[in-house]
A and B are shown apart, each in its own frame.
Chain A
Amino acid sequence: QQEGLDDGPDFLSEEDRGPRAVSVDLQTDATLQVDISDALSERDKVKFTVHTKSTLPNFKQSEFSVVRQHEEFIWLHDSFVENEDYAGYIIPPAPPRPDFDASREKLQKLGEGEGSMTKEEFTKMKQELEAEYLAIFKKTVAMHEVFLCRVAAHPILRKDLNFHVFLEYNQDLSVRGKNKKEKLEDFFKNVVKSADGVLVAGVKDVDDFFEHEKTFLLEYHNRVKDASAKSDRMIRSHKNAADDINRMASSLYALGTLDSTDLCKFFLKVSELFEKTRKIEARVAADEDLKLADLLKYYLRESQAAKDLLYRRSRALLDYENANKALDKARAKNRDVLQADTSQQLCCRKFDKISESAKQELIDFKTRRVAAFRKNLVELAELELKHAKVGTLSVTLSVSLLMTSSSPPPLLSLSCRGTCSCCRVVWVS
């Protein structure tokens, strides 16, 4: 039983309410506004409160809220993917499953090791782990919200019936997670799809725009994947370094409290300094995580969704070409011509429909992407600057503090090595 986490209080502070466009810059318009106003973390699930404000006539009220869990989001996403009518759109990527396992494990280990550390150390570590937990929590809320906002902003998807049910139906949707059989089916479907994807990718497109997009997306997707992985590693190292500084600060504090000599007072000051340094490093790592790593992760998923769109289009193209060939054959043999003709017309219409919307979708994707990167990179730079400035200030302050505490002030010469002029030693017999 972890205190403070189960059935915890409202984790979202006031400032976090309102539409949070973490990675996506969206036009929110008054006809349909969706956000996650609250969230609750329970032992093995998270409950999101989805809040809707709408002027559309489809809804019974103009403002209402329901509680949804992660599986219901997945259900909604899958229903889009499986809907043939939406084949020509980039389906907003599903939010990742909330994963608190690592954080929970750490908290558990801390609880077990409570006896072996001092009270201060324990409280400090507990606070940090709780902050980490909170950060992961906020992130998962943001991811789920972004998904809903994207759907709400899409001119076609926002009208989807399942979406309206999702938003409005205030009972449990009874969407169970996929059982083993279904998961296995999914797995095979994916295998088939990727094999097919390879086949389909070989189809040369007459349309320059799509040909270019195909090559571009493939390369872009791979590079985003790489950048995302590397940024994760970088941020993890950063967090590790911050943890080390934390430990140093604790040990120095312990040294400082050993007795009240000059040296110990000095150690206390140094311990404070390292504590400050650590906070800054931890914030820098957290901001990099939020503005850079999350951005890359999101666009990894979106670029995959765009690739899926292209795949569907290529598939439709192939089907169309095959249908053409079948029609020619049927005409030549003069057998089942009507059937072949109908099928060919269907394929043609499907392909045209997809192509039309796909073009716009891909253009929108680029606009969104550029806007999101701009926003996040600017914010990242501003935050890094802020932290560096605070860091410089605190360090120079500490240096002056350290120097004024001693009597007499030592003269430091960083540049003259080899010359030595030291204090006279005081000898006490």
Chain B
Amino acid sequence: MAATARDPMANHSDFQEVENAEDLFPELTGGPREEADSSGERSNGPKLDFDDDADDLFAEATEEVSLDSPERDVLLSDGPSPAITPVTPPTSVLTPRLAHAHDDMFTHSSFDELEEEESSEASAVAVSVSDPEKVGEGMNAYMAYKVTTKAPPSSALFRLPEFSVRRRFSDFLGLHGKLASKYMHAGYIVPPAPEKSIVGMTKVKVGKEDPSSNEFVEKRRLALERYLMRTVQHPVLLKDPDLVQFLESSELPRAINTQALSGAGLLRMVNKAADAVNKMTIKMNESDAWFEEKQQHFENLDAQLRKVHASVESLVCHRKELSQNTAQFAKSAAMLGNSEDHTALSRALSQLAEVEEKMEQQYQQQANADFFLLAELLGDYVRLLAAVKGVFEQRVKAWQKWQDTQLLLQRKREAEVKLHFSNKPDKLQQAKDDIKEEIEELEGKVQQGERDFEHISRVIRREVSRFEKERVKDFKILVTNYLEALALTQQQLIKYWEAFLPEAKAIS
């Protein structure tokens, strides 16, 4: 299962492919990363993966179900192989489109030629996630998704303009882990991956083809698609060889470190805790008002977004309730119509029951729109904001490191001075040379620390302004889609009640 090496276009390319899934000492890429992030890839030996045991057998057995086009949502498969259970997404799901607007004009300010190229490349690449298929049975089963990439041939990133691969959820998590460990510390906002859900997956594994597990799969598929789209739209991330490999290569080394209870998982948890403590203890002299302002801004945004998200989730819940209660009322009204002995009234009541049934479906659709268009996207943004905050924290860490090195340098210099004034001539020359060496090294490190800090500050500024623009775009599209769905619902309601009115008037 050797992965093919990518061309050296990426600027972070000093890593070794993992030859064997059992060999788990991947080299980390260059750059100061002693304080590995929460998704660091260190592990010490083969890990047991309880959901991937039979993986190798079935990896080859996954048949790609033939579809007319990647745009089809409903799975049609004739005669699936016994190991595969295709999943039909709920029919009443309103699939939101992460369609992005055409924009043929963009304003120039002063920016790098290279960055413009990068951004135009990024905007032209499209990724879609489709065809969820259950592979395997029982607790060893997992969902495999088809990932299709479309890129204009002008961008020399991929071999073909259009291609697809099959990936499973842990692959996505592995990708995020790699990207985060490479880029977060440099100040890039790496889009977060969808969350694991043990409950949801267990239901799917157990094999119940009920609407709730279908909904779960659909929800996850969309989340994965949004995640990939956000990632490929980041001009720097797009060039990353790990990402390219993820999108292109037919075989991917299994990401075992994504297991919650593995060694890597525990390490992640420890790191998270350490980070939390650090956050509380590091007090940085913020010289740049921009950062302070932005940080405050993001805190407020986070708090409010969470509130909106909570209200939207409550709305989804109540709309579903409304839909159910309306259905029950419809049945009850039908019964009432049956027992009414005045014929015209009886008919009108039955009509009312029918109208209410149709309303129930509208409410159901509206609940789905609320959920998929609003709730999920808001949830994404809450997590994205967490990534943004993480990036700010990285900057603080970089500053801390720089300061620490500076302090160390100062101490060494003091030691040197002391040495000058001490009276031990025999050790003196050697010690003086040693110290001089150390001081030179430290001076270099201090300069590097400062450069790093400034670099990360610059990157963050760019990232934040890009993030803000993306946000505006995303939210506008999201709300407009939601409104269009709403308008449709209202129009349907008009139709139903207009049909009912003459029936009601006909009661004599």
Residue numbers of A with Cβ under 8 A of B are 216, 219-220, 223-224, 226-227, 230-231, 233-234, 236-238, 240-241, 244-245, 247-248, 251-252, 254-255, 258-259, 261-263, 266-267, 270, 273, 277, 366, 369-370, 373-374, 377-378, 380-382, 384-385, 388-389, 391-392, 395-396, 398-399, 402-403, 406, 408-414, 416-429
Q: What's the minimum C-beta distance from A62 to chain B, rounded to whole angstroms?
A: 37
A370 touches B342 (CB 8 A): yes
Assess A413 versus B99: contact at CB under 8 Å? Given A230-B325, A234-B325, A392-B494. Answer: yes
Mask: chain B, 468-508; 1 = CB below 8 Å from A; 0 = not: 11111101110111011011001101100110110011011
Query: From residue B367, how far is it (CB to closest CB) to chain A in Å?
Result: 9
Q: Is the CB of A223 within 8 A of B99?
A: no
Q: Is the CB of B301 within 8 A of A255?
A: yes
A231, A240, A263, A425: the one contacting B318 at CB < 8 Å is A240
Total number of residue pairs linking A and B with CB closer than 8 Å:
276
CB < 8 Å: which of B119, B307, B311, B465 contacts A424?
B119
Listed by A's residue number, 19 A-B pairs whose Cβ atoms lie within 8 Å are A223-B339, A226-B335, A237-B321, A240-B321, A241-B322, A259-B297, A370-B342, A370-B344, A374-B504, A384-B497, A385-B501, A412-B477, A420-B99, A420-B127, A424-B120, A425-B235, A427-B109, A427-B462, A428-B462
Indicate whether B286 reaches chain A with its CB closer than 8 angstroms: no
Task: Check A423–B103 contact: CB distance below 8 A.
Answer: yes
- How many Å lie between the Cα of A411 and that of B99 in the bound state? 9
- Cβ-neighbour of A427 out of B111, B305, B470 (below 8 A): B111
Inter-chain CA distance A255–B385, complex, in Å, is: 14
Q: Which of chain A's residues have a CB closer than 8 A to the CB of B490? A: 388, 391-392, 395
Q: Is the CB of A389 within 8 A of B507?
A: no
Contact B98 A420 (CB under 8 A): yes
The 6 closest A-B pairs by CB, nearest first: A422-B100, A410-B101, A420-B126, A423-B103, A244-B315, A237-B322
- Is A266 in contact with B472, judged by CB distance below 8 angstroms? yes
Contact A402–B476 (Cβ < 8 Å): yes
Main secondary structure of the interface of B (DSSP, over half): helix
C-alpha spacing A258/B297, complex, angstroms? 8
Residues of chain B with a CB closer than 8 A to A226's CB = 332, 335-336
Q: Let me know if B60 is at the binding interface, CB within 8 A.
A: no
Question: Which of A261, A380, A410, A418 has the most CB atoms of chain B within a 10 A radius of its CB?
Answer: A418
What residues of chain A lie closer than 8 Å to B290, measured between beta carbons?
A: none
Q: Is B400 an interface residue (CB 8 A)?
A: no
Q: Closest residue of chain A to B94, judged by CB?
A: A414
Residues of B with Cβ closer than 8 Å to A? 69-71, 95, 97-107, 109-112, 115-116, 119-120, 122-128, 148, 150, 229, 233, 235, 297, 300-301, 304-305, 307-308, 311-312, 314-315, 318-319, 321-322, 325-326, 328-329, 332-333, 335-336, 338-342, 344-345, 348-349, 352, 458, 461-462, 465-466, 468-473, 475-477, 479-481, 483-484, 486-487, 490-491, 493-494, 497-498, 500-501, 504-505, 507-508
Q: Which residues of A contact B110 (CB under 8 A)?
A: 428-429
Chain B residues closer than 8 Å to A428, beta-carbon distance: 109-111, 461-462, 465
CB distance A420 to B100 under 8 Å? yes
Query: What 11 new A-B contacts, CB under 8 Å, besides A254-B304, A418-B71, A424-B120?
Result: A230-B332, A234-B329, A248-B315, A255-B308, A261-B472, A273-B483, A369-B342, A373-B348, A418-B126, A425-B123, A426-B107
Which A residues lie within 8 Å of B344 (CB)? 370
Q: Is the interface of A mostly helix, strand, loop or mixed?
A: helix
Chain A residues closer than 8 Å to B300, beta-carbon distance: 258
Residue of B nearest to A399 (CB): B483
Beta-carbon contact of A258 and B458 below 8 Å: no
Q: How far is the CA of A422 from the CA of B325 in the complex (A)?
A: 41
Chain B residues near A374: list those with CB within 8 A. 345, 348, 504-505, 507-508
Q: Are B105 and A248 in contact (CB under 8 A)?
A: no
Question: Least Cβ distance of A415 to chain B in Å?
Answer: 8
Report yes or no: A416 in contact with B325, Cβ–Cβ below 8 A.
no
Cβ 8 A contact of B332, one of A227, A378, A384, A403: A227
In the complex, what distance in Å separates the CA atom of A403 from the CA atom of B95? 21
| Residue numbers in B under 8 Å from A412 (CB-CB) | 99, 101, 477, 480-481, 484
Can you name the residue of chain A whose Cβ is closest to the Cβ of B148?
A418
| A425 in contact with B128 (CB, 8 Å) | no
A398 to chain B, nearest CB (A): 6
Docked CA distance A341–B71 (Å): 90
A382–B503 Cα distance when bound, in Å, is 12
Q: Are A408 and B109 in contact (CB under 8 A)?
A: no
Contact B487 A399 (CB under 8 A): yes
